[in-house]
Chain A
Amino acid sequence: MATERATRDILGATLIELGKADENIVVFDADLSSSTKMAEFAAVFPDRHFNAGIAEMNMAGMAAGMASMGKTAFISTFAIFGTGRAYEVVRDLVCYPNFNVKLAMTHAGLTVGEDGATHQSVEDIALMAALPNMKVFVPADAEEARQMVMAAAKIQGPVYIRLGRDKTEDIYTPETYTYSMKPDKLKDGADVAIFACGIMVARALSAAKDLEAEGISAAVVNCSTLKPFDEGFFARIAGSVKGIVTCEEHSIYGGLNSVVSQAAGKLSPLPIEAVAIGDTFGESGKPAELLEKYGLTASAIKEKARSVLLKAK
Chain B
Amino acid sequence: MMDDLRQIAKQARIDILNQVYSAASGHLGGAFSSVEILVALYFSVMDIPSFEEADRDRFVLSKGHASSLLYSVLSQKGAFDRGELANFRRLGSILQGHPVYGKAPGIEMSTGSLGMGVSAATGIALAGKMDKKSYRVYTLLGDGEMQEGLVWEALMAISHFGLANMTVIIDNNGLQIDGPIQDVMNPYPIDEKLEAFGFHTQTVDGHDFGALIGSFDAAKVQTGKPSAIIAKTVKGKGVSFMEGNPGWHGKAPNEEEYEKALLELGGK
Residues of A within 8 A of B (CB): 26, 47-48, 50, 52-53, 55, 57-58, 60-71, 73, 88-89, 92-93, 96-97
Residues of B within 8 A of A (CB): 100-102, 108-110, 112-113, 115-116, 119-128, 130-131, 149-150, 153-154, 156-157, 160-161
Nearest Cβ on chain A to B40's Cβ, whole angstroms: 23
Given contacts A65-B127, A92-B112, A97-B101, contact A57 B120 (CB under 8 A): no
Nearest Cβ on chain A to B186's Cβ, whole angstroms: 22
A93–B127 contact, CB under 8 A? no
Given contacts A58-B153, A58-B154, A92-B116, contact A97 B124 (CB under 8 A): no
Report B-chain residues with C-beta under 8 Å of the C-beta of A63. 123
Q: Once bound together, how far apart are the Cα atoms of A55 and B156, in whole Å?
A: 10
20 contacts between A and B (CB under 8 A): A50-B161, A52-B153, A53-B153, A55-B156, A57-B119, A58-B119, A58-B122, A61-B116, A61-B123, A62-B120, A65-B126, A66-B123, A66-B124, A66-B127, A68-B108, A68-B109, A68-B123, A69-B123, A73-B123, A96-B100
**5 tightest Cβ-Cβ pairs between the two chains A and B:** A65-B123, A61-B119, A58-B153, A62-B123, A69-B127
Report A-chain residues with C-beta under 8 Å of the C-beta of B128. 69
B123–A64 contact, CB under 8 A? yes
Partner of B102, one of A60, A92, A97: A97
Report B-chain residues with C-beta under 8 Å of the C-beta of A96. 100-101, 110
Partner of A88, one of B113, B127, B156: B113
Q: Once bound together, how far apart are the Cα atoms of A96 and B96, in whole Å?
A: 13
Nearest Cβ on chain A to B135's Cβ, whole angstroms: 9
Q: Once bound together, how far apart are the Cα atoms of A47 and B126, in whole Å?
A: 11
Q: Once bound together, how far apart are the Cα atoms of A61 and B122, in whole Å?
A: 8
Q: Once bound together, how far apart are the Cα atoms of A281 and B127, in whole Å?
A: 39
Report B-chain residues with C-beta under 8 Å of the C-beta of A55. 153, 156-157
B124–A65 contact, CB under 8 A? yes
Report B-chain residues with C-beta under 8 Å of the C-beta of A50. 126, 161
Q: Once bound together, how far apart are the Cα atoms of A65 and B154, in whole Å?
A: 12
Q: Once bound together, how far apart are the Cα atoms of A58 and B150, in whole Å?
A: 6
Report B-chain residues with C-beta under 8 Å of the C-beta of A57. 115, 119, 149-150, 153
Q: Once bound together, how far apart are the Cα atoms of A57 and B119, in whole Å?
A: 8
Report A-chain residues with C-beta under 8 Å of the C-beta of B157. 52-53, 55, 58, 62
Label chain A's interface by main secondary structure: helix
Nearest Cβ on chain B to A86's Cβ, whole angstroms: 10
Report B-chain residues with C-beta under 8 Å of the C-beta of A52. 153, 157
Q: Once bound together, how far apart are the Cα atoms of A111 and B126, in whole Å?
A: 35
Report A-chain residues with C-beta under 8 Å of the C-beta of B150. 57-58, 61, 89
Question: Which chain B residue has the least Cβ–Cβ distance from A91?
Answer: B113
B119–A89 contact, CB under 8 A? yes
Partner of B120, one of A26, A61, A71, A88: A61
Nearest Cβ on chain B to A239's Cβ, whole angstroms: 41
Report A-chain residues with C-beta under 8 Å of the C-beta of B113. 88, 92
Report A-chain residues with C-beta under 8 Å of the C-beta of B125. 65
Question: Which chain A residue has the least Cβ–Cβ distance from B109?
Answer: A68
Report A-chain residues with C-beta under 8 Å of the C-beta of B126. 50, 62, 65-66
Q: Once bound together, how far apart are the Cα atoms of A67 and B127, in whole Å?
A: 9
Partner of A71, one of B100, B101, B110, B127: B127
Report A-chain residues with C-beta under 8 Å of the C-beta of B120. 61-62, 64-65, 68, 93
B154–A61 contact, CB under 8 A? yes
Nearest Cβ on chain B to A97's Cβ, whole angstroms: 4
Question: Which chain B residue has the least Cβ–Cβ distance from A52?
Answer: B157
Question: Which chain B residue has the least Cβ–Cβ distance from A99?
Answer: B101
A89–B116 contact, CB under 8 A? yes
Nearest Cβ on chain A to B122's Cβ, whole angstroms: 5
Q: Once bound together, how far apart are the Cα atoms of A71 and B154, in whole Å?
A: 19
Report A-chain residues with C-beta under 8 Å of the C-beta of B122. 58, 61-62, 65
Question: Which chain B residue has the least Cβ–Cβ distance from A47?
Answer: B130
Partner of B110, one of A62, A66, A70, A97: A97
A92–B110 contact, CB under 8 A? yes
Q: Once bound together, how far apart are the Cα atoms of A96 and B150, in whole Å?
A: 19
Nearest Cβ on chain A to B166's Cβ, whole angstroms: 11
Report B-chain residues with C-beta under 8 Å of the C-beta of A61. 116, 119-120, 122-123, 150, 154
Nearest Cβ on chain A to B39's Cβ, whole angstroms: 24
Report A-chain residues with C-beta under 8 Å of the C-beta of B156. 53, 55, 58
Question: Which chain B residue has the least Cβ–Cβ distance from A51?
Answer: B160
Question: Which chain B residue has the least Cβ–Cβ distance from A88?
Answer: B113
A68–B119 contact, CB under 8 A? no
Nearest Cβ on chain A to B51's Cβ, whole angstroms: 13
